[in-house]
């Protein structure tokens, strides 16, 4: 029987690459998006071209009721939720002296509270079926910190602590919860970097390149479909930058 996955922030970047990687392994996918409807529908069509089922569901993951509705849509169509990829995230970078309260709140609410909301929304059916895989997309910034990203670092560090706590709560129910911590990945988030900033970053990466979304998708795919004795872990995928 095929597995069903919800991928938040699945319309582009890491989310899109992950959704397609899982579809290629035989999964049906619910693509969550907040604003990028046309991009989400393109991903749905690409997945369907692979012979799998897919749906695009608009939901603001920072709102529990919308996260619950998304989970219910998945359950109504597919009867189960096997895999949850908590990938939705935003940045609002600024030094702490200039950071607006709204910039703090939005990053925490999407990146951290959104992970809580979506996990809470799927955990009961996963417990009932005695099987589930939850992979949270964290960041090396949550491990090391970064000037100008106090909100993002706090959110991603929170995701890591959340991952370990929930892994302990649900391990006895056959549910494994892990995190993947990307380094600098070539996405819309990093496209805004200047050439100088990009070169400075790459000077700290032993593999001498930025990652691509597929690098993260492969790690997520392994944890979602092939790992059977790994839980509560943070898999760092950063080209060696943080070592």
Active-site residue list: 152
CA separation for the pair 66, 81 (Å, rounded): 16
* DSSP state letter for 35: S
- Paired with 28 in beta bridges are 4
Work out the end-to-end distance of the chain between its first and last CA atoms, rounded to an integer number of angstroms: 40
Residues 6+ apart with CB under 8 A from 131: 82, 174, 175
Give 133's contacts (C-beta < 8 A, 6+ positions apart): 82, 83, 84, 175, 176, 177, 223, 224, 225
d(CA 87, CA 105): 18
Other Cβ atoms within 10 Å of 239 Cβ, number: 21
């Amino acid at each position: 029987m095929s597995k069903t996955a919800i991928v938040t922030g699945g319309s582009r970047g890491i989310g899109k690459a992950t959704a397609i990687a899982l579809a290629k392994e035989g999964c049906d996918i619910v693509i969550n998006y907040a604003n990028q409807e046309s991009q989400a529908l393109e991903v749905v069509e690409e997945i369907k071209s692979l012979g799998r089922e897919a749906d695009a569901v608009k939901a603001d993951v920072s709102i529990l009721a919308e996260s619950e509705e998304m989970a219910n849509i998945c359950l109504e169509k597919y009867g189960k939720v096997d895999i949850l990829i908590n990938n939705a995230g935003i940045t609002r970078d600024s030094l702490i002296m200039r950071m607006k309260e709204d910039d703090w709140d939005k990053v925490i609410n999407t990146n951290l509270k959104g992970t809580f909301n979506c996990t809470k929304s799927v955990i009961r059916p996963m417990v009932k079926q005695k099987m589930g895989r939850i992979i949270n997309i964290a960041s090396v910034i949550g491990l090391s910190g970064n000037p100008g990203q106090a909100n993002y670092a706090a959110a991603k560090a929170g995701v890591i602590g959340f991952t370990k706590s929930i892994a302990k709560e649900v391990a006895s129910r056959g549910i494994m919860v892990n995190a993947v911590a990307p380094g600098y990945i070539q996405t819309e988030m990093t496209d805004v970097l200047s050439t100088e900033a990009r070169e400075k970053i790459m000077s700290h990466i032993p593999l001498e390149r930025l990652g691509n979304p597929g690098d993260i998708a492969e790690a997520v795919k392994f944890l979602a479909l092939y790992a059977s004795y790994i839980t509560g872990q943070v898999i760092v995928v950063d080209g060696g930058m943080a070592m």
